Amino acid sequence: MLVQALQALATGLLTGSVYALLGAGFSLIWGVAHVINIAHPALAVGAAYAVYALATRGVDPLASLATVVPLFFLLGVGFHEGVIRPAARRAGDLVLVSMVLTFGLAAALENALAAIWGPGPRVVNVAYTGQAIRLGVLALPVPHVAGAGLAAVTITALYLFLHRTFPGKAVRAVWQNRDGAALCAINLRQVTSLTYGLAVASAGVAGVALALIYSFSPATHLTWLVFVFLVVIVGGVGSLVGAVVAGMVVGAVTNLATLVIPFAWAPFLLFASLGILLLWRPTGLFRR
């Protein structure tokens, strides 16, 4: 029993890193641009399908990163320039408008994916699927480790970027105080575009990790949306570190919970816990 729990904990921490990555990207956009990007997990699912498409042609998921990352970065920048900026000019309440807007886009994307690949689940099989790394009594599935490693590398890269580079610090400045940053001659438009590019690119990476670990279908983005909100609410909208910790916690807890609770009830419990969290602490459990 203890071994099972440890196993669940370990796997949970691995998957939790992917949750953390998704949450971090989502948080970035919310914090810097005041946009709630409901389509964030949908973009990750889109990336997962791209990985699948490439995998059926023999391309390893990790190799497909070379295409996914730049493509999604450009997509993010394009989205900001082409969609968000015009919307922000007209909208009174950008937060709500962005929710509805990205909601619509997520729905469109979901149905587009369903139109191309059908509504059923897809799985990406790689050379190392089914293999596991032995760590004492634990067996860590290699795809999980790969996905978690990917997420960890990306989060670290993000962290270093935000804290060690000048553009990154500009992003943090805007994150903390938009008007103040503008007064310091920070180009808000450029910073926001950059942030979007990074965030969507991170969603792409999360999608690659997701493809390694889970099966997915067009509707998967909804479940992932709940995870994203859990991470962001627990970790706070302003904190990268918070997202990481929250992601780990969410991953660990959900995995441990599946030991005790029948699988069928898992989605409901997830929703219930998110609902309760939102009601208890709508602004997040972590202070920045």
Partner 1 sequence: MSRAAAAGLVAVLVVLPWAGAGEYPLALLYSTFMYATLAVAWNIIGGFAGYLSFGHAAFFGLGGYATGFLLVHAGLSPFLTAPVGGVVAAVFAALAGYPCLRLRGPYFAVVTMILGLAVRAVVLNLPWAGAAEGLWMTLPPWEPLAARRAFYYAMLGIALVTALAGRAVRLGKMGVGLEAIREDEDAAQSIGVPAVRLKMSALILSAGLTGLAGGIYAYDRSYIHPDFMFDLHLSVLAVLMALLGGRQSWAGPILGAVVVRLVDELLTVRVGTEAARIIFGLGLALVIVLLPDGLLPHLMRLRRRAPRPPAAVPAAVVRP
Applying CB under 8 A, which residues contact partner 1? 36, 83, 86-87, 90-93, 95-97, 99-112, 114-115, 222, 226, 229, 264-265, 267-268, 271-272, 274-275, 278-279, 282
**Residue 2: exposed, middle, or buried by beta-carbon count in 10 A (0-12, 13-18, 19+)?**
exposed
Measured from the CB atom, the residue of 6 and 226 that comes closer to partner 1 is 226
18 vs 36, beta carbon nearer partner 1? 36
Secondary structure of residue 187 in the 3-state scheme:
coil
Cβ-count burial of 35 within 10 angstroms (0-12 exposed, 13-18 middle, 19+ buried)? buried
Long-range CB pairs of 101-107, under 8 A, 24+ apart, other chains included: 102/35, 102/36, 102/37, 102/38, 102/39, 102/40, 103/38, 103/39, 105/38, 105/39, 105/42, 106/38, 106/39, 106/41, 106/42, 106/221
Give the shortest CB-72-to-partner 1 separation in angstroms. 19
The C-alpha atoms of residue 288 and residue 267 are separated, in whole angstroms, by 30
CB of 118 to partner 1, least distance (A): 10
- CB closer to partner 1 out of 111 and 125: 111
Identify which of residues 102 and 193 has a Cβ nearer to partner 1 in the complex: 102
3-state percent helix, strand, coil for the chain, nearest multiple of 5: 75, 5, 20
Minimum separation from the CB atom of position 178 to partner 1 (A) = 17
Shortest distance in whole angstroms from residue 219 CB to partner 1: 9
Nearer Cβ to partner 1, position 211 or 274? 274
- Would you say 17 or 220 has its CB closer to partner 1? 220
Residue type, 123: V
By C-beta, is 10 or 226 nearer to partner 1? 226
Q: Which of 70/119 has CB closer to partner 1?
A: 119
Contact 235, 243 (CB under 8 A): yes
Q: Which phi-psi region, left, alpha or beta, contains residue 287 (left: φ > 0; alpha: ψ -120 to 50)?
A: beta
Contacts of 112 (CB under 8 A, 6+ apart): none
Q: C-beta of 95: minimal distance to partner 1 in Å?
A: 5
Beta-ladder partners of 138: 135
Ramachandran angles phi, psi of 127, nearest 5°: -55, -35
**How far apart, in whole angstroms, are the C-alpha atoms of residue 131 and residue 85?**
47
What is the closest distance, in whole angstroms, from the C-beta atom of residue 268 to partner 1 in the complex?
Answer: 5
Q: How far is the CB of 272 from partner 1 (least distance, A)?
A: 7
| In the complex, minimum distance from the CB of residue 200 to partner 1, in angstroms, rounded to a whole number | 16
